[in-house]
């Protein structure tokens, strides 16, 4: 990397690779700006469908750093444009604003040497802070891209949100989007270029408030739910294409000495094959119907989120260039299919990736933790990928 910032070049892809390590060094003292935005945004709760307060903070931040055309839409997305020197094409950089934590969770963020801890810091307050910091970082590094950067804080991404925010933005935005990058807080080695097929849903069991001693139903909704879980675990899954069923949440009962009349099971089924996902959905519904027919209990299944598998290939120029950038920064990439907003880009045929910014642990727990000392590597990776896209090094010919 040339020591004179004004002579930085990315017309030649090799220049980007040669400069990646130097860029990371330049970014070390600039991590403080990302951490400041992390605290500003991350200490404001933003549950899915309740992102308005965080959205307003991001509007203010985007305006302060000089983004043009800062707007929000009816889905509570917030977006603005950093105009390029030529502005012929548009690169979207997005991060989801919502988290899995309700307003009642303590969102205080603790910053210690080598450790930042707090609800949602990894997923996805850090990713959002990076997007909020991009104009400032590019300005301080004297990097001006030829193409426009559209920076987006997306709402309604997680759970029942089903990436509704980004899907709506891409459907309605007035300018064409030619490439996209989804920014996630973790993990640093993440390089996602494909989306896995998914269904997410909930099984709800209701038993009568008054126990019918002459009936054949279970005495507790928990027991009925247990029967359903046993049926689900018996569903055969292939090793190839890779497939899984995750039983992630169970909620039931009010007290130890009171019979549970309601029980809920939250689940997610994943597969690299759309056909396998459809088969799993059919088997899940059959399991619910069979148990309901035997017990007489009121059992419903609600599939509220679906995503199709797809993406760009391992050999796509965008993936190849990103892989080379990872190598230049001595980061071994982990090719993990995405369950995030990447699917929204894929569905519209837009070449896109998901990148993580640092390492972290205790994900989706109240004490989520990230390593602030590696953020500069995530930033260098992101900026290098953006320069590669901007320089035309990631296009299929």
Q: What is the pLDDT of residues 50-71, one digit of tens each?
A: 999 999 999 999 999 989 999 9
Confidence tier at 1 by pLDDT (50, 70, 90)? very low
User: Averaged over 37-44, what is the pLDDT?
Assistant: 98
Average pLDDT, the chain: 94
pLDDT at 392 over 70: yes
Confidence tier at 210 by pLDDT (50, 70, 90)? low
* Secondary-structure class of domain 197-307 per CATH: alpha beta
Q: Identify which of 328, 376, 312, 362 has the alpha carbon closest to the alpha carbon of residue 101.
A: 362
Rounding to the nearest 10 degrees, give the CA dihedral for residues 32, 38, 39, 42: -170
Give the residues across from 302 on adjacent strands. Answer: 202
Confidence tier at 6 by pLDDT (50, 70, 90)? very low
CB atoms within 10 A of CB 391: 20
Task: Establish how many alpha carbons lie within 13 A of residue 271's alpha carbon, considering only the half-sphere containing its beta carbon.
Answer: 19
pLDDT at 212 over 80: no
DSSP 153-194: EE-S-SGGGTTHHHHHHHHH-SS---EEEEEEEE-TTBEE-E
Cis previous bond, 187, omega within 30: yes
User: Averaged over 278-296, what is the pLDDT?
Assistant: 96
Rounding to the nearest 10 degrees, give the CA dihedral for residues 150, 156, 157, 161: -150
pLDDT at 315 over 80: yes
pLDDT reported for residue 219: 76
List the chain domain ranges.
5-195+309-390, 197-307
User: Averaged over 221-238, what is the pLDDT?
Assistant: 96
Q: Give the whole-angstrom CA distance, residue 352 versus residue 345.
A: 6
Q: Are 161 and 48 in contact (CB under 8 A)?
A: yes
pLDDT reported for residue 211: 57
Q: Give the whole-angstrom CA distance, residue 289 versus residue 207.
A: 15
Helix (H) / strand (E) containing 360: strand 360-361
Q: Give the whole-angstrom CA distance, residue 284 versus residue 272.
A: 18
Q: Are 252 and 264 in contact (CB under 8 A)?
A: yes
pLDDT at 243 over 90: yes
pLDDT at 194 over 50: yes
Crossing angle between the packed helical segments 52-64 and 126-140, to the nearest 10 degrees: 10
Q: Give the whole-angstrom CA distance, residue 76 versus residue 320.
A: 34
Q: Identify which of 68, 64, 61 has the alpha carbon closest to the alpha carbon of residue 148.
A: 68
Q: Using DSSP bridges, classify how beta strands 360-361 and 369-370 pair: parallel, antiparallel or unpaired.
A: antiparallel
pLDDT at 182 over 60: yes
Above pLDDT 90, what percent of the chain? 89
Q: Give the whole-angstrom CA distance, residue 17 versus residue 298.
A: 60
Confidence tier at 397 by pLDDT (50, 70, 90)? confident
pLDDT reported for residue 214: 52
3-state SS class at 357: strand
**List of residues 6+ apart from 282 with CB closer than 8 A:** none
pLDDT reported for residue 330: 98
Q: Give the whole-angstrom CA distance, residue 354 versus residue 180.
A: 9
pLDDT at 215 over 70: no
Helix (H) / strand (E) containing 230: helix 221-233
CATH of region 5-195+309-390: 3.40.630.10
Q: Give the whole-angstrom CA distance, residue 343 versus residue 310.
A: 8
Q: Model's pTM, two decimal places?
A: 0.91
Which sign does the torsion angle of CA 309, 313, 314, 320 carry? negative
pLDDT at 139 over 80: yes
Torsions phi, psi for 52 (to 5 deg): -60, -40
pLDDT at 354 over 80: yes
Q: Give the whole-angstrom CA distance, residue 180 versus residue 178.
A: 7
Which sign does the torsion angle of CA 13, 19, 24, 29 carry? negative
pLDDT at 218 over 70: no
Q: Are 369 and 112 in contact (CB under 8 A)?
A: no
pLDDT digits (tens, 9 = 90+) for 76-99: 999 999 999 999 999 999 999 999
Q: What is the DSSP letter of 174?
A: S
């Amino acid at each position: 990397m040339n020591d004179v910032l004004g002579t930085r070049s990315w017309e030649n892809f090799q220049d980007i690779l040669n400069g990646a390590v130097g860029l990371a060094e330049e970014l070390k003292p600039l991590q403080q700006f990302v951490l400041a935005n992390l605290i500003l945004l991350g200490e404001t709760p933003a549950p899915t469908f309740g992102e308005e307060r965080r959205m307003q903070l991001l509007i203010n931040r985007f305006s302060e750093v000089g983004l043009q055309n800062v707007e929000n839409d009816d889905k509570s997305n917030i977006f603005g444009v950093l105009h390029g020197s030529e502005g012929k094409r548009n690169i979207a950089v997005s991060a989801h604003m919502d988290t899995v934590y309700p307003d009642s969770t303590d969102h205080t963020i603790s910053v210690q040497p080598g450790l930042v801890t707090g609800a949602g810091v990894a997923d996805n307050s850090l990713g959002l802070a990076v997007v909020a910091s991009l104009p400032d970082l590019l300005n301080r590094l004297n990097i001006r891209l030829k193409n426009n950067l559209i920076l987006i804080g997306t709402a309604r991404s997680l759970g029942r949100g089903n990436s509704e925010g980004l899907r709506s933005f891409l459907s309605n935005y007035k300018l064409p989007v030619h490439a996209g990058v989804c920014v996630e807080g973790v993990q640093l080695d993440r390089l996602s270029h494909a989306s896995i097929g998914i269904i997410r849903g909930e099984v709800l069991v209701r038993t009568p408030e008054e126990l019918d001693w002459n009936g054949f139903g279970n005495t507790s909704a928990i027991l009925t739910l247990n029967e359903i879980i046993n049926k689900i675990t018996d569903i055969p899954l292939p090793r190839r294409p890779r497939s899984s069923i995750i039983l992630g949440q169970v909620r039931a009962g009010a007290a130890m000495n009171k019979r549970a009349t309601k029980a809920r099971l939250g689940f997610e089924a994943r597969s690299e094959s759309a056909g396998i996902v459809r088969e799993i959905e059919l088997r899940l519904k059959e399991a619910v119907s069979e148990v309901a027919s035997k017990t007489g209990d009121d059992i419903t299944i609600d599939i509220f989120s679906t995503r199709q598998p797809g993406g760009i290939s391992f050999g796509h120029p965008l993936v190849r260039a990103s892989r080379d950038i990872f190598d230049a920064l001595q980061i071994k990439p982990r090719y993990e299919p995405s369950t995030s907003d990447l699917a929204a880009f894929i569905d519209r045929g837009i070449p896109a990736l998901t990148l993580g910014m640092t390492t972290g642990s205790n994900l989706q727990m109240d004490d989520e933790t990230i390593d602030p000392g590696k953020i500069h590597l995530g930033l260098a990776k992101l900026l290098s990928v953006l320069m590669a896209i901007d320089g035309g090094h990631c296009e299929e010919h």
